[in-house]
Amino acid sequence: MGLRHFIRVLDLKKEEVEGLIDRAMEFKRTHNFRGLLSGKILALIFEKASTRTRVSFESAMLRMGGHTLFLSGRDLQLARGEPIKDTARVLSRYVDVVVLRTYSHSTITEFAVYSSVPVINGLSDRFHPCQALSDLMTVLERGKDPFKEKVVWIGDGNNVAQSWIEVSALLGFPLVICCPPGFEPERELLEEVRSKHGAKIEIVHDPGEAVEDAGVINTDVWVSMGQEEETQRRREAFRGFTVTAELLKRAKPDAIVLHCLPAHRGEEITEEVLEGPQSVVWDQSENKMWLHMALLEFLLKGE
Ligand code: CP
Ligand code: NVA
């Protein structure tokens, strides 16, 4: 396997996604991972805050015997105008793999063009591919078959939703995206996945109808990082899109609720649902670490 990056879900083949999830589950079950990435160095370049993605990647690498370097975007010469292409060429002489969390998606794609080591998207304004894979792992772990259950996204059609769209396109199960008008996923992405993959993505605007008989419900914040000045406008636009206990009654009684976190209780989800028996958010967070172990192994060792 030559140099591979993981910038969007569609960088992988269906069998590779299935293989990564199997491997992540194996790591979780057996804890048999010691020394697998001995001596390897992971650099994390983050322009935005992170709890889960940062710590789960660092912990994954350390548990497998590797090392990590956390580099806040602010502290690199990048912040003083050094070009991305120079940073990429220099850093890839020092480290074995890089995780980037950026505002602009093009920062990651440009970095990858010049990097001689694998580049992983740790969240950009377009995608959060690692999140979607660990979400999928959580869905499968809970015994939910996305081909048999109605899978619904409620909320903003941005980065996490767009990676879910790619998972749905790649694996071939239908996905309902329920968002307020004006907050749909990118038109070009929908066209791409529909024409190239025959993706079955339905865009709707009524949360009640969307969750009717759903088995898997996923949501995310109304105001993503970098959109803080739109907070008021978004809170108004998303009114009625909160995942409440009342809304959940319309789903299947054993439906599961996912949220990538951090959550804003009382906005996209209520405290009652987040802390309730149908919420799987803590396993979902944990699974990021197992999935990242499998992903690092895959990119570094071609396995
Ligand atoms: N879900 C997720 O990516 O969380 P962080 O922003 O804490 O990394
Ligand atoms: N959509 C959110 C996801 C955070 C993990 C954001 O971009 O801030």
Q: DSSP letters along the chain, please?
A: -----BSSGGGS-HHHHHHHHHHHHHHHHH---TTTTTT-EEEEEESS--SHHHHHHHHHHHHTT-EEEEEEGGGSGGGGT--HHHHHHHHHHH-SEEEEE-SSHHHHHHHHHH-SS-EEES--SS--HHHHHHHHHHHHHTT--TTTSEEEEES--SHHHHHHHHHHHHHT--EEEE--TT-PPPHHHHHHHHHHH---EEEE--HHHHHTTEEEEEE--SS-TT-GGGHHHHHHHTTT--B-HHHHTTS-TT-EEEE-S---BTTTB-HHHHTSTTB-HHHHHHHHHHHHHHHHHHHHH--
Encode pLDDT of 145-193 as tens digits.
999 999 999 999 999 999 999 999 999 999 999 999 999 999 999 999 9
Q: Where are the CATH 3.40.50.1370 domain residues in the chain?
A: 9-128+287-301, 143-279
pLDDT at 303: 61
Q: What is the mean pLDDT of the chain?
A: 98
pLDDT at 1: 77
- Which pLDDT band, with edges at 50, 70 and 90, does 17 fall under? very high
* Cα of 195 from ligand 1 centre, angstroms: 31
Ligand 2 touching residue 134 (CB < 6 A): no
* Residue minimizing CA distance to atom 6 of ligand 2: 224
Ligand 2 touching residue 203 (CB < 6 A): no
Instruction: Provide CATH code, domain 143-279.
Output: 3.40.50.1370
* Residue minimizing CA distance to atom 3 of ligand 1: 53
Instruction: Provide CATH code, domain 9-128+287-301.
Output: 3.40.50.1370
The number of the ligand 1 atom at minimal distance from the alpha carbon of 48 is 6
- Which pLDDT band, with edges at 50, 70 and 90, does 73 fall under? confident
Encode pLDDT of 19-69 as tens digits.
999 999 999 999 999 999 999 999 999 999 999 999 999 999 999 999 999
The pTM for the full model equals 0.98
Ligand 2 touching residue 224 (CB < 6 A): yes
For the residues 288-292, what does the mean pLDDT come to? 99
* Residue minimizing CA distance to atom 2 of ligand 2: 224
